[in-house]
C-alpha cells in the first residue's frame, strides 16, 4: 500500500467513498470532504486545535434536548441557516414573501385558537397589540383556510420552551377567513439575547459579538397547493435590525407598530399589519423544504 501524505489523503478518501450507492449522498459527502480537507490545509490545523473543535461539537451535542436544539442555534449564528434559506428561496416557482429562520424554539404542539384570541397568558398593562394581515397568492388573491402558526418570546425575552418543557405560551395556530385575513391579540415583541449559557454562547462571546436578536414574531403558514412559508416580522425601530446575530432579519420583513390603524378589525389597541404572499407548490416542495424543526422531532429522527 502506498503511503498517504497531506497531498494524497483527499483523493484516497474520495476513491474509497466512490462506491456510495445514493448519488446525492455521494455528491454531498465528496464535496464536504474536499472542503473540509482544504480548510485544514489552509489554516494548517494542529492536533490540539482539532481536539478542541471536537470537544466543542461534543458540547453542542450534549446541550441538545427535546426542548433545545443547540446545533440549529450554531447553524443560525454561523449564517448557514440563512444561506440555506436563501438557496431554497431561489428554487420557488414565483416570488412570494421572503423566508426567515424557523429558529430553535418552534413547537408542533401549539394550541389552535379562534380569530382574535390572545396568545399570551399574562398581559402587562400597555403591552397588548393586535396583529393581523392578509394571506394571498402572489397575484393578490386571498387564500382562505390557510393555517397561520405564530410564536414569540414573552415579556421576559424567553420562549415558553426555555422556561418549562410543559409550558405553552405566546404561541398559537390560527386560520384565515374567506378574505384571507388572520387576526391575533398578542404583546409587543422585545429584542433578546440568544441562549448564551451553552457552547454557542461561549463562541459568540469569544468573537466579541453582542448575541442579540431584533424584536420579531415567527410565522409558519401553509395551505393546500401552496409552498409552506417560514418567515417572521421584525420591528423596524429595533437597534439590532441590521446586525441580527443569526442573520435572519431583513428590511422587507420590517414593520411598524401603529397607534391607530383604521383598517384593524379590533379598535383601541396598537396594531401591526403583516401581509404574506404564498408561492404555488411544486413537486420539489412536497419533499420538504423547511430549515429547522421542533427540537423534540429532531431527536426522534432515525440515525
Q: What Rg value do the Cα atoms of the chain yield, rounded? A: 22
pLDDT for 256: 96
Angle at 297 between CA 73 and CA 54, to 5 degrees: 45
Q: Give the SS3 label for residue 216.
A: strand
pLDDT for 297: 65
**pLDDT (tens place) for every residue of the chain, 303 residues total:** 568 999 999 999 999 999 999 999 999 999 999 999 999 999 999 999 999 999 999 999 999 988 889 999 999 999 999 999 888 888 888 999 999 998 888 888 899 999 999 999 988 888 899 999 999 999 999 999 999 999 999 877 888 888 776 778 999 999 999 999 999 999 999 999 999 999 999 999 999 999 999 999 999 999 999 999 999 999 999 999 999 999 999 999 999 999 989 999 999 999 999 999 999 998 777 666 666 666 766 666 655
Taking the model in full, what pTM does it have? 0.89
pLDDT for 166: 72
Cell numbers placing 46: 494542529
Dihedral, 271, 272, 277, 283 alpha carbons, nearest 10 = -120
Q: Which CATH number fits domain 70-282+292-299: 2.60.130.10, 3.90.78.10, 1.20.120.550, 3.50.50.60?
A: 2.60.130.10
Cell numbers placing 36: 473540509
Amino acid at each position: 500500500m502506498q503511503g498517504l501524505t497531506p497531498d494524497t489523503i483527499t483523493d484516497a478518501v474520495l476513491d474509497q467513498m466512490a462506491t456510495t450507492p445514493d448519488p446525492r449522498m455521494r455528491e454531498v459527502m465528496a464535496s464536504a470532504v474536499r472542503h473540509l480537507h482544504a480548510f485544514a490545509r489552509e489554516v494548517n490545523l494542529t492536533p490540539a486545535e482539532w481536539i478542541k473543535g471536537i470537544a466543542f461539537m461534543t458540547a453542542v451535542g450534549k446541550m441538545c434536548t427535546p426542548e433545545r436544539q443547540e446545533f440549529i442555534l450554531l447553524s443560525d449564528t454561523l449564517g448557514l441557516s440563512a444561506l440555506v434559506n436563501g438557496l431554497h428561496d431561489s428554487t420557488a416557482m414565483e416570488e412570494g414573501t421572503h423566508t426567515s429562520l424557523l429558529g430553535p424554539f418552534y413547537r408542533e404542539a401549539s394550541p389552535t385558537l379562534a380569530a382574535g384570541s390572545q396568545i399570551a397568558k399574562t398581559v402587562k398593562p400597555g403591552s397588548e397589540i393586535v396583529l393581523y394581515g392578509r394571506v394571498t397568492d402572489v397575484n393578490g388573491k386571498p387564500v382562505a383556510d390557510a393555517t397561520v402558526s405564530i410564536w414569540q418570546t414573552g415579556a421576559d425575552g424567553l420562549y415558553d420552551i426555555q422556561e418549562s418543557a410543559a409550558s405553552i405560551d405566546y404561541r398559537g395556530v390560527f386560520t384565515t377567513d374567506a378574505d384571507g385575513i388572520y387576526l391575533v391579540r398578542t404583546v409587543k415583541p422585545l429584542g433578546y439575547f440568544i441562549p448564551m449559557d451553552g457552547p454557542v454562547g461561549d463562541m459568540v462571546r469569544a468573537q466579541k459579538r453582542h448575541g442579540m436578536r431584533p424584536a420579531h414574531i415567527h410565522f409558519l403558514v401553509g395551505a393546500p397547493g401552496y409552498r409552506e412559508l417560514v418567515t417572521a416580522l421584525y420591528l423596524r425601530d429595533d437597534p439590532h435590525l441590521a446586525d441580527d446575530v443569526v442573520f435572519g432579519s431583513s428590511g422587507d420583513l420590517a414593520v411598524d407598530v401603529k397607534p391607530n390603524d383604521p383598517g384593524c378589525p379590533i379598535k383601541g389597541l396598537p396594531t401591526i399589519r403583516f401581509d404574506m404572499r404564498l408561492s404555488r407548490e411544486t413537486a420539489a416542495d412536497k419533499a420538504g423544504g423547511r430549515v429547522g424543526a421542533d427540537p423534540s422531532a429532531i431527536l426522534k429522527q432515525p440515525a
